[in-house]
């Protein structure tokens, strides 16, 4: 029985990140290899299909996270907007009080 109607586990698939999917794949492969011969064929088949689905997802995650050779190098937006500071500004900033030095 549910604790309350509409809670997060109601008919919603569990969302896993790439690391969790890779960990689950390793665990399921270990479970599948450790199965005894007398385990039902349906259980074995369901585990094999889940392992194959996870392999596809992990492979897709690896392809998406790998940097492409033709991609332009990423420029940080904070660095691109940063203005150049002259030596005079540096000297003026050093002479200010510590509180005013951060207000620049």
- Residue 37 within any structural domain of the chain: yes
Residue 76: per-residue pLDDT:
57
Contact between residue 28 and residue 47 where contact means Cβ atoms under 8 Å apart:
yes
- Residue 91 within any structural domain of the chain: no
**pLDDT surpasses 80 at 79:** no
Domain that holds residue 35: 14-66
How many domains, the chain? 1
Give the separation between CA 54 and CA 47, rounded to whole angstroms: 10
pTM: 0.54
Give the separation between CA 29 and CA 32, rounded to whole angstroms: 5
**pLDDT surpasses 80 at 41:** yes
- Residue 5 within any structural domain of the chain: no
Average pLDDT, the chain: 78
Contact between residue 54 and residue 24 where contact means Cβ atoms under 8 Å apart:
yes
- Residue 101 within any structural domain of the chain: no
- pLDDT interval class at 84 (50, 70, 90): confident
**pLDDT surpasses 80 at 60:** yes
Residue 9: per-residue pLDDT:
62
């Amino acid at each position: 029985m549910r604790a309350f109607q509409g809670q997060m586990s109601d008919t919603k698939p569990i969302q896993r990140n790439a690391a969790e999917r890779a960990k689950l794949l390793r665990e399921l492969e270990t479970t599948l290899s450790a199965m005894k011969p007398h385990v039902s064929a349906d259980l074995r088949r369901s585990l094999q299909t889940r392992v194959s689905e996870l392999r596809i997802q992990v492979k897709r995650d690896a392809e998406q996270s790998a940097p492409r050779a033709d991609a332009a190098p990423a420029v940080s937006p904070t660095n691109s907007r940063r203005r150049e500071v002259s030596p005079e500004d540096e000297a003026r900033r050093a002479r200010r009080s510590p509180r005013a030095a951060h207000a620049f």
